[in-house]
């Protein structure tokens, strides 16, 4: 490379058209997955106080959001249910109910939009358990791996039968991807994808999400015996390798921005589709900065999305999806 002044790196930054022409990363609405929270009732929009600008929607509202996403060019929705307290139990059996909130929302979206949009469904028991853990527990509160996997298989088949396009196990049990893949194949759901939460960390950034699905006040203990230690990177690669070998079509890193190094290493190591979840705490921090007059929402939203793409992510789950898509179309 030549040196200054023969080479001036600022030359290509001097005008907007030149900056656009030399831009290395481009984010479009097709890179976004929009997480949505489903609740009971009809005509319900229930704002989530710890997630300003985000609401729980009844099924009819979720369908309206699906149509909005199609119009904005967002290819996929991620659904999370706010299960009523009287339907929660120690064993989370509501997850297997073919008429549960999640299944009704899947069917309604597919009836309204067909294949114009994908539906990604969360597979874990925390929205259904009375103790708030992602799986079945023993007398000491320890989450049981193999017994939980059996429940997750049933939950996955239930969602696939309702019309889910992507099963996304977020539970972090060992061996669940292989068990779910085998069950899906056996039931004829050969084109249902699995996006594994392969590197999901025991993070401090999940608080508002637990408010949204109604599990924060229920959670007994913590999730450190199955979610990953935030200090570990090599372990994340082992998790991803195992899930890919068991049949995952894509993998997820969660949370997002604090773990961009993990997303980058996964992409460079395996060369597979990697998604990141810009989680509730990340969203809430941006909104808090905006509310304090310390930041410009539009600029922060777009810059963070570019960071995910620059790290190698194929797409991002973000609560700012609709807002970002409008900005991109402006």
Integer Rg of the chain from CA: 20
3-state secondary structure of 318: strand
Cα gap 3→111, rounded to integer Å = 61
At residue 216, φ and ψ (nearest 5 deg) are -60, -50
Q: How many helices (H) and strands (E) in the chain?
A: 11, 10
200 is catalytic: yes
CB atoms within 10 A of CB 284: 22
- Sequence-distant (6+) residues with CB within 8 A of 288 are none
Length of the chain measured in residues: 330
CB atoms within 10 A of CB 329: 11
**Which of 33, 109, 87 is closest to 213 using CA atoms?**
87
Whether the CB-CB separation of 98 and 154 falls below 8 Å is answered with no
Question: Can you list the alpha helix ranges (DSSP code H) found in 187-320?
Answer: 207-213, 234-246, 260-270, 280-291, 297-310
Catalytic residue chosen out of the listed positions 107, 200, 223, 267: 200
Cα gap 120→168, rounded to integer Å = 7
Q: What angle do CA 85, 89, 92 make, to 5 degrees?
A: 110
Cα gap 36→68, rounded to integer Å = 12
3-state secondary structure of 137: strand
Catalytic residue chosen out of the listed positions 110, 223, 254, 267: 254
What is residue 257's DSSP assignment?
G
Whether the CB-CB separation of 35 and 80 falls below 8 Å is answered with yes
220 is catalytic: no
Whether the CB-CB separation of 43 and 327 falls below 8 Å is answered with no
Residue positions annotated with a catalytic role = 200, 254
């Amino acid at each position: 490379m030549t040196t200054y002044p023969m080479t001036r790196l600022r030359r290509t930054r001097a005008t907007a058209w030149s900056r656009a022409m030399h831009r290395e990363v481009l984010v479009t609405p097709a890179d976004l997955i929009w997480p949505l929270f489903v609740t009971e009732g009809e005509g319900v929009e229930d704002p989530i106080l710890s997630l300003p600008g985000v609401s729980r929607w009844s099924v009819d509202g979720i369908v309206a959001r699906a149509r909005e996403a199609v119009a904005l060019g967002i290819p996929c929705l991620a659904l999370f249910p706010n299960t009523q307290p009287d339907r929660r139990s120690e064993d989370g059996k509501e997850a297997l109910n073919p008429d549960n909130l999640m299944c009704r929302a899947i069917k309604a979206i597919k009836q309204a939009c067909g294949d114009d949009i994908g539906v990604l469904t969360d597979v874990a028991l925390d929205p259904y358990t009375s103790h708030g853990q992602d799986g079945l527990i023993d007398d000491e509160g320890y989450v049981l791996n193999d017994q939980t996997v059996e429940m997750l298989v049933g939950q996955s088949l239930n969602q696939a039968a309702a019309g889910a396009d992507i099963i996304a196990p977020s539970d972090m049990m060992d061996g669940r991807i292989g068990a779910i893949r085998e069950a899906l194949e056996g039931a004829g759901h050969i084109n249902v994808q699995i996006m594994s939460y392969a590197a999901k960390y025991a993070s401090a950034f999940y608080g508002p999400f637990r408010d949204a699905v109604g599990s924060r006040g229920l959670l007994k203990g913590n999730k450190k015996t199955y979610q990953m230690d935030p200090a570990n990177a090599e372990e994340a690669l082992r998790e991803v390798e195992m899930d890919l070998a068991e049949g995952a079509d894509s993998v997820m890193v969660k949370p997002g921005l604090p773990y961009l190094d993990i997303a980058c290493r996964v992409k460079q190591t395996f060369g597979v589709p990697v998604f990141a979840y810009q989680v509730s705490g990340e969203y809430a921090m941006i909104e808090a900065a905006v509310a304090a007059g310390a930041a410009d929402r539009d600029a922060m939203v777009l810059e963070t999305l570019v960071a995910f793409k620059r790290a190698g992510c194929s797409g991002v789950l973000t609560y700012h999806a609709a807002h970002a898509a409008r900005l991109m179309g402006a």
